[in-house]
């Protein structure tokens, strides 16, 4: 079975990539759905229906299956190398995976609301919400590549600084966007 390890790992990585792609794009579609709900008729209805179809296809055909397959192949990999469970980096990685799964379930809740035409969040909130998987992705990639070479204190501080920089970048982008919309 060991000879299949690289193939299983490759499939795991492929489905991680498609899972993240789905998570990144679904929240962008949420932004567009929220903004479309604020437009006058008939744009509101036309855009709203098209965006619902796009979100449904992305969510049900790409994102959910990708998550399930990424987890399936990840569990398979761990079962082949159980000794990794004792490593601190793997435990932290699995904690990030749990966070990503919780993020997926929150996205599912928002998806269901928007499919029913219920808007509970602003488009600005969704833009910030879209940065959560980015932070998780950066964290996991560095964690997996560097493993025990990561000093946990510096790593944690680095992630916090990265999150702060993302938020600052978002605020700058928001100001630029608002100034363009106000005609200045």
Does the annotation list 52 as a binding residue? no
Cβ atoms < 10 Å from Cβ of 109: 11
- 27: nearest Cα among 17, 15, 35: 35
Q: CA-CA distance, 154 to 166, in Å (whole number)?
A: 18
Interval 50-101: pLDDT, tens: 999 999 999 999 999 999 999 999 999 999 998 888 888 889 889 999 999 9
Q: pTM for the whole thing?
A: 0.85
C-alpha 20: how far from its chain's center?
A: 5
Interval 94-120: pLDDT, tens: 999 999 999 999 999 999 999 999 999
Which residues, other chains included, contact 76 with Cβ-Cβ below 8 Å and sequence gap of 6+?
A: 8, 12
- Give me the helices (H) in 58-87, please: 64-80
Does the annotation list 108 as a binding residue? no
Interval 4-29: pLDDT, tens: 999 999 999 999 999 999 999 999 99
């Amino acid at each position: 079975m060991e000879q299949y390890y690289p193939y299983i790992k490759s499939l795991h990585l492929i489905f991680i990539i498609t899972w993240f792609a789905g998570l990144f794009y679904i929240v962008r579609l949420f932004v567009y759905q929220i903004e479309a709900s604020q437009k006058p008729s008939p744009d509101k209805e036309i855009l709203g229906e098209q965006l619902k179809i796009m979100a449904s296809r992305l969510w049900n055909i790409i994102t959910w299956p990708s998550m399930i397959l990424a987890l399936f192949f990840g569990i398979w990999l761990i079962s082949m190398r159980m000794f990794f469970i004792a490593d601190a980096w793997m435990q932290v990685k699995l904690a990030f995976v749990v966070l990503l799964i919780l993020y997926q379930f929150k996205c599912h809740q928002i998806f269901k609301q928007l499919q029913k035409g219920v808007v509970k969040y602003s488009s600005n909130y969704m833009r910030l919400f879209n940065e959560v998987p980015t932070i998780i992705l950066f964290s996991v990639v560095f964690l997996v590549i560097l493993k025990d070479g990561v000093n946990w204190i510096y790593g944690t501080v680095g992630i916090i600084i990265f999150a702060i920089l993302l938020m600052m970048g978002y605020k700058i982008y928001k100001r630029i966007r608002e100034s363009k919309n106000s005609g200045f």
